Amino acid sequence: MSGKQGCKMTAFKLKMSKALGLPSRSSVAETPRAETPPAPTGKSAPGGNLSTERPPSIEGIIDDVLEARTVEQHFFRPSMLFGCKRANVFHYTRVPHHPQRQNPRMLRILDNGTAIHSVLQGYLADHPDWWFAPESRILVKVQGATIRGSCDGVLIRREDGYRVGVEIKSISHDQFIKLTKPKPEHVFQAGLYCRLQKLPWIVIIYWDKNTQHLKEYVVRYNPQQWEDVKERVKELYGYVQSGELPEYDASTCDTTFCATVDYCRSKGAPV
Ligand code: SF4
């Protein structure tokens, strides 16, 4: 790369850092954007007022991503946020994990779920009238805590840019037939993605792992629910900052896929 190109790249990276609310290079990895309210969507022309802005350097973006990966990150995952409080605190503080506790059958169940996501995402990517952006990442600060995760995808109508989020859940037949509405923890997760992805709507789609039937539920962004999300994050992050642990709660404890069960037991949980 020539000196001039190098200068351009440096200027670009500074611009990217500013746009993302990132600090200087030395501490770039652990600095997500501040959360912002959802932007209105509508019938604006594709690209709208941004159509005259030249594209960024793709290499510069890749550089940013690879550099961020070199730093250990502490964060809450949206998919865990409304489950076991202890598991959230353990995840954020990166206590020892024991994935080897997962037996081969459990690992097959996890891989099956991943495969179902891929199949559904493949279907959605094939529609001629919609673009599909899979695994749409969020990395933001909420109440001082870092939230990192991925919505399973965002569908964007080619004609006018209308957007809707998609969250995929693969569940057992027993759970599927009982579903008359989305599970509360999934609604909270969807609401969080709505807010942070600036989506007015998100559809939760359930896949019956036994019969391959589907059920779908629409979730609309709800400002009050966002307040609940913030309260939850504040509470959990309070534990992280104080070094205290939430009380063991049998009603939210599910050791089936818990990777910190040994550590939790060592901290007094009767599991
Ligand atoms: S063992 Fe139960 S209580 Fe402990 S972190 Fe895992 S799910 Fe939570």
Q: Domain spans of the chain?
A: 85-266
- With the most atoms of ligand 1 within 8 angstroms of its CB, the residue from 260, 265, 267 to mutate is 260
254 within ligand 1 shell (Cβ under 6 A): yes
* pLDDT for res 154: 96
List the one residue out of 34, 16, 39, 12 whose CA is nearest residue 199.
39
Which protein residue has the closest C-alpha to ligand 1 atom 1?
A: 261
CA–centroid distance, residue 41 to ligand 1 (Å) = 40
pTM of the model: 0.77
> What was the pLDDT predicted at 61?
92
Task: Give the distance (Å) from ligand 1 centre to CA of residue 236.
Answer: 14
What is the rounded average pLDDT of the residues 84-90?
A: 97
Ligand 1 in reach of 271 Cβ (< 6 A): yes
101 Cβ below 6 A of ligand 1: no
Confidence of residue 74 (pLDDT cuts 50, 70, 90): very high
Give the side-chain half-sphere CA count within 13 A for 255. 14
Determine if ligand 1 sits within 6 Å of the CB of residue 255: yes
CATH 3.40.50.300 fits 85-266, yes or no: no
Dump pLDDT digits (tens) for 243-264: 999 999 999 998 888 889 999 9
Mean pLDDT across 60-69: 91
What pLDDT, in 10s, does the model give residues 196-206?
A: 889 999 999 99
Q: How far is the CA of 168 from the centre of ligand 1 (A)?
A: 24
Q: Which of 26-30, 36-40, 211-215, 218-222 shows the highest mean pLDDT? A: 211-215
Q: Whose CA is nearest to atom 2 of ligand 1?
A: 253
Q: What pLDDT score was predicted for residue 33?
A: 52
Buried b (16+ CB within 10 A) or exposed e, 204-234: bbbbbbeeeeebebebebeeebbeebbebbe
Per-residue pLDDT reduced to its tens digit, 167-201: 999 999 999 999 999 999 999 999 999 998 899 99
